Structure 1
Amino acid sequence: MTQDTVAQRNRDLVVHGLAEFARGNIGVLRELLHEDFVEHSPGNPSGRDAFIEFIASAPVAGARLDIKRVITDDDYAVVHYHMVEPGGGRGSAVIDIWRLVDGRITEHWDVVQPVPEPASIPHGMF
């Protein structure tokens, strides 16, 4: 398999997974996450089952996720998106980084930043 093919497969997996998750299909995570999934975000549990239980009740589970950009290679997928929780105002800018091995997400990092008043970001967040 060429690098471009692996990168495209990784892109397709995370974009599909994020879209399904945003539709309320939490079960898609069982297909995507490796059993020994490692979470690097403070306060979030590692392990597929523990993470799914945690994320199912987290605010992101009911949020609107508007993907702005996706960058992938043979090992990683990076997604930059606008997350707006129900009644969440301007929302947050989120960058998720996923490491994939053989079509399964094995690790996750993220950065989340509240979207400030438009006047304080003249070039926009996205």
Structure 2
Amino acid sequence: MTTENKSIVQRALAGLIDTGDVDALAPFLSDDFVHHRPGTTTSTKVEWLAAVRAALVPLAGMQVELHQVLAEGDHVVVYSRRWLPDAGPEIAVVDIWRIDDGLIAEAWEIIEPVGRVAANLAWWQPAEH
């Protein structure tokens, strides 16, 4: 099951990363798919695919390196680094995907700008002004 779930996520991401084709991602998502962001922000399958589609123009040419793909049970975790062409900003991303009945049912996404990593190591300290 773990290997199969990992393969589902890898195939879904490959279609999007390699071609930029959001429609290639859609068949891997369940109809009741939910995407979560920190806080209370969630979106449905239709909303999330629309957001991904809208981001394709400003993020055209974005490079993605998958560094880790880990799976256990019905969850797959992907750690990647992404950056824009021409030395644009770089981000580190952790995606957690939950697979149900062969489809991606839920996703969680955490994004950290690499340029702010040092500041985030002491997130509990008051900001200096």
Same fold (TM over 0.5): yes
2:77 paired with 1:51: no
- SS for the counterpart of 1:106 is strand
- SS for the counterpart of 2:115 is coil
Measure, in 2, the Cα distance between the counterparts of 1:21 and 1:45.
21
The alignment's C-alpha RMSD in Å is: 2.5
Which residue of 2 is the match for residue 123 of structure 1?
none
Which residue of 1 is the match for residue 122 of structure 2?
none
Which residue of 2 is the match for residue 3 of structure 1?
none
1:33-82 deviation line (CA, Å, top 9, x unaligned): 11111121158652212211111112586322100001112210000001
Letter in structure 2 aligned against 1:94: V
Measure, in 2, the Cα distance between the counterparts of 1:49 and 1:18.
17
TM-score (norm 2): 0.76
Query: 1:102–1:93: structure 2 CA closer, same or farther, 3 Å change rule?
Result: same
Give the gaps of 5 or more residues in structure 2. Answer: 119-129
Aligned length: 114
Measure, in 2, the Cα distance between the counterparts of 1:28 and 1:111.
23
TM-score (norm 1): 0.78
Percentage of identical aligned residues: 29
Query: 1:88–1:34: structure 2 CA closer, same or farther, 3 Å change rule?
Result: farther
Give the gaps of 5 or more residues in structure 1. Answer: 1-5, 121-126
Measure, in 2, the Cα distance between the counterparts of 1:44 and 1:19.
26
Measure, in 1, the Cα distance between the counterparts of 2:41 and 2:55.
10
